[in-house]
Structure 1
Amino acid sequence: MLLENKTAIVYGGGGAMGGAFARAFAAEGARVYLAGRTAAKLERVAADITAAGGWASTAVVDAYDAESVAGHVASVEGPIDICCNAVSVRETQDVALTAMSVEDFVRPVEDAARTNFVTATAAARRMTAQGSGVILMLSSSAARESGFEMGGFSLACAAIECLTRSLAGEIGKYGVRVVALRPNFTPQTHPEWVNPDDGSLQHLIDGTALGRLPELNEVARTAAFAVSDHAGAMTGAVLNLTCGAIVD
């Protein structure tokens, strides 16, 4: 198992992406602390993990609030090996930048910067003291795309990637790694938006080298690899999971 005897915190652990990360971490042997705003969603993910023979606990935590996160981090016993932020941000899309309000543009940027800074630095303080650990952030292809009317979400994702590099450079000397994932739109995260027969995703599919969009389990399994010792030489990196929509 990639993560045997590891302890992982997943903020936004009740969401589609965060839940998938948590299940993947647990399947690889990690003890998973699920944190988020909605207890019922967290409990559903925890039930899946325990039913599969894993270990999970839940806590209602506001990942935008520094005191809430600091209290949660302090409650985790022993070393914290992995801290993952999969918290969603409030965003306005399908509106041209020239027609968007300042508030709608700035909101996702502020949200992404706040929650990722709060969770990453809280974990980093524990990890630098213990001399090890991995911090995982979640970006998207929007960080590098143009012309898709993504509003401030594009800048929000670019900010996450910038924070990944900046923090990695500061805390690497203490043995702590910082990485991010950059998936393309992953249909399983928003099944309510997707009708496979209406062609609404075809423009996204046509823009990929592989002729498809990423699967949720692919993203989650890559997350498990990225936070494992197998990726121990990787830090300050953004893993490209766009199916070739973005070519590095």
Structure 2
Amino acid sequence: MYLHNKTAIIYGASGAIGSAITRAFYKAGANIMMVARNQEKLRRVANTISAADGRIETAALDVLDQAAVVKHADSVAAKAGRIDISVNVTGTFHIQGVSFPDLSLEDFMFPVNTYIRSNFITAQAAAKHMIRQKSGVLLSISTPGSKLPGPGFMGYGLACSGIEALNRHFAGELGQYGIRSVCLRPDAMPEAGAHGSYSNEVFAKAAGGAGISIESMLEQHAQANTLLKRLPTLDEVANTAVFMASDLASAITGTVANLTCGSLVD
């Protein structure tokens, strides 16, 4: 198993992507601390994955609360002896579909402040322990919005660009300690909405404005804008996370894994 006996903290573990990564990490042998704001949602997800063998624990936590995140990471490291992997796939509802002339400063800055702050806080909390052990992997998540121009997603696009920039800086700052940093960049995943993703709320405005369903909008996007004529699956993203967190990817750092099915070509 690729992650046998590795200790991983997954922030946003109750969401669509987070639960898929948790499931894949569990199959790969990791010991996992699932973190999200809602304890009940965490328990429901954990109960669908764990065989009650003690390899999955849950903690309700606000990733924007630096003191709470640091205290939690310290407790995980004290109990397990180390933190091998820190994954931040947290997400929150934000405004999209409003053009720049009509976009309020508050709506523009909300995703920037939220995503950049949470990624900085969680990575730093884990990195302090990884530095001492001279190893570790930081994983984050972005979208094609980090590279694409277009109306309606300025704040979120900048947030994704910022996450990718943080990824490069994490790699540059921490590489001397044997710590790797990798960002995953999938396009929209149609199945995510059925697994608790906030993306349906975000996409609803654009789909409603076009007079079509979210499913139809994403299918049109897949056919018109991806090379593979489809969009990525949750399992594809989760399996890539396993690979990037494993020793199989030990030479990979400071990069973005392109999981867009060719909607964005590097």
Which deviates more, 195-204 or 213-222? Answer: 195-204
Distance 2:57 2:215 in 1: 40
| Residue in 2 that maps onto 1:33 | 33
Which deviates more, 145-154 or 103-112? Answer: 145-154
Q: 1:93 to 1:33 in 2, by over 3 A?
A: same
Question: 2:128 aligned with 1:110, yes or no?
Answer: no
Conserved? CA contact 1:9–1:33, under 8 Å: yes
TM-score by length of 2: 0.89
Pick one of 159, 165, 176 that aligns with 1:173.
176
Report deviation, 1:203: 3.6
Pick one of 149, 152, 159 that aligns with 1:149.
152
Pick one of 245, 248, 251 that aligns with 1:227.
245
Q: What percentage of residue pairs aligned between the two structures are identical?
A: 45
Unaligned runs of 5+ in 1: none
Letter in 2 for 1:217: D
Q: 1:209 to 1:53 in 2, by over 3 A?
A: farther
Report deviation, 1:49: 2.1
Q: Which structure 2 residues correspond to residues 1-248 of structure 1 after superposition, within 5 A?
A: 1-51=1-51, 55-76=55-76, 77=79, 78-191=81-194, 193=200, 199-205=216-222, 206-248=224-266
Report deviation, 1:189: 1.5
Distance 2:215 2:162 in 1: 33
Conserved? CA contact 2:190–2:215, under 8 Å: no
Aligned-partner SS, 1:162: helix
Letter in 1 for 2:100: L
The alignment yields a C-alpha RMSD, in angstroms, of: 1.8
Aligned-partner SS, 1:190: helix
Conserved? CA contact 1:83–1:120, under 8 Å: yes
Distance 2:59 2:258 in 1: 31
Conserved? CA contact 2:171–2:181, under 8 Å: yes
Distance 1:19 1:57 in 2: 13
Distance 1:6 1:237 in 2: 22
Determine which structure has the larger helix proportion and give its number: 2
Aligned-partner SS, 1:32: strand
Report deviation, 1:94: 1.1
Q: 1:198 to 1:120 in 2, by over 3 A?
A: closer
TM-score by length of 1: 0.95
Report deviation, 1:51: 3.5
Unaligned runs of 5+ in 2: 204-211
Which deviates more, 13-22 or 142-151? Answer: 142-151
Which deviates more, 87-96 or 5-14? Answer: 87-96
Corresponding residue pairs, total = 248
Deviations 1:138-157 (A, max 9, x none): 11111112225213100000
